[in-house]
């Protein structure tokens, strides 16, 4: 499964990428929304893990743009963030985990989706 991780915290991104790579996932990373869109257009991820509090373009906007601009079928979008989800939610974000996320739960979710 191709997974894109977008988080402005380099340690979080590196940790998730390393752990998911150990489970056999093909992982790419991006530090912000604009870079993530570029990666998504070329990589066509099947799942996206994103932070909601990204600089420049928040995770909600990134999820919306990935759905409309980058991939078909729409990738599984999982928010992994210190921010609580908006009360109204987002039709573009399928799951939300608060940081620090349980990596085992994320892996189970991704393996089930693969």
Domains of the chain (ranges; CATH) run 2-106 (3.40.50.2300)
Backbone angles phi, psi at 104, to 5 degrees: -60, -40
d(CA 99, CA 79): 10
The model's pTM: 0.91
Q: Taking each helix axis as running N to C, give the angle between helix 33-43 and helix 59-69, from 0 to 180 degrees, rounded to the nearest 10.
A: 30
Segment 23-34, tens digit of pLDDT: 999 999 999 999
Segment 11-21, tens digit of pLDDT: 989 999 999 99
């Amino acid at each position: 499964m191709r997974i894109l991780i977008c988080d402005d915290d380099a340690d979080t991104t590196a940790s998730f990428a390393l752990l998911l790579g150990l489970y056999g996932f093909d992982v790419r990373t991006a530090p912000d929304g604009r870079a993530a869109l570029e990666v998504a257009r070329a990589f066509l991820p099947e799942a996206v893990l994103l932070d909601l509090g990204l600089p420049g373009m928040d995770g909600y906007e990134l999820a919306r743009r990935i759905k409309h601009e980058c991939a078909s079928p729409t990738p599984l979008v999982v928010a992994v963030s210190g921010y609580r989800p908006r009360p109204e939610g987002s039709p573009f974000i399928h799951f939300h985990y608060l940081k620090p996320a349980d990596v085992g739960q994320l892996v189970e979710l991704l393996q089930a989706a693969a």
